[in-house]
Amino acid sequence: MQVKLASSYGFCFGVKRAIKIAESYENSATMGPLIHNQNEIDRLKNNFNVGLYNSLSEVKKDDTVIIRTHGIPKDELRNLKKNKDAKVINATCPFVTTPQQIVKKMSKENYSILIFGDSTHPEVKGVKSYGEDQEDVHVVMSVKDLDKINFKYDKIATVAQTTKKKEVYLEIVNALILKNKEVRVFNTICDATFENQDAARDLSKEVDIMIVIGGKNSSNTKQLHAICLENCSDSYLIENSKELEKQWFKDKKICGITAGASTPDWIIQEVVNKVEEYNENF
């Protein structure tokens, strides 16, 4: 069985940057999980004593607190800086900061705001918080969701969660343009997402089994898995090599491997090694 890696996979710029920041601040803590990969979070804890806070109430005086790559809501960030004698290090990905600032600016200019994304995702919660009128900041996952929305203004500004599929965003944008007087469209889906998705799509057409490595609560990894399933029904989402099952590979000729933007190289290599080990034993 041949093992092929996607032409683009794994850590994106924002995650690499956040990991480097966390490694630079030993004995600190992140506000929320730094990235969507528990194995890497465990490594940071074990090697650099980087802890995890889930609420402001956990922060103590003189703590060093690192803001997660997905960002946090505006009020939480302000209160953290204002009410706690803590050192705040902002590791929010610059590609996430961009839609935050767009929403802030456009809502001040009396545009209704539409966010394409998952309303429960921390990135979207953070971006939404920058709207001036929270009742006029709307989050949708598909074109169908637009029917439920009453915009305050006849001017719409739209942004997207950085890890969403561009094809769905285009559908939403086209529907908005047909029904509204003015639509300002900001493409905030990051290039790394495009590249990883396109590479996964291409590779999944060539193989008879596809392994997608990443956190199961990671939006971009779940998107990769969904894309692979479109072309390869034997596509599996795993977090690490322990989740591989030998019988998946029986009678397979080509195994494709890709990984989400929060998946470190050491986990990817462990998966590759185990797949090749299976290959030798068939």
**Of the listed 40, 76, 123, 239, which one is catalytic?**
123
DSSP symbols for 34-103? SSS-HHHHHHHHHHH--EEESSGGG--TT-EEEEPTT---HHHHHHHHHHS--EEEE---HHHHHHHHHH
Catalytic residue status for 76: no
Our measurement of the distance from residue 163's CA atom to the centroid of its chain's CA atoms, rounded to an integer in Å, reads: 5
Q: Which residue has the tokens 């709307």?
A: 138
Half-sphere exposure of 201 (CA within 13 A, CB side): 9
Calculate the CA dihedral of residues 71, 72, 78, 83 and round it to 10 degrees: -120
At position 95, the amino acid (one-letter code) is F
DSSP symbols for 185-202? E---S-HHHHHHHHHHHH
> 85: how many CB neighbours lie within 10 A of its CB?
9
Collect all residues with Cβ–Cβ distance below 8 Å to 47 and sequence separation of at least 6: 23
User: What letter would DSSP give residue 26?
Assistant: T
Residue 251 burial by Cβ neighbours in a 10 Å radius (0-12, 13-18, 19+): exposed
Cα gap 38→161, rounded to integer Å: 21
Q: Which residues pair with 94 in a beta bridge?
A: none
Q: Which residues are catalytic?
A: 123
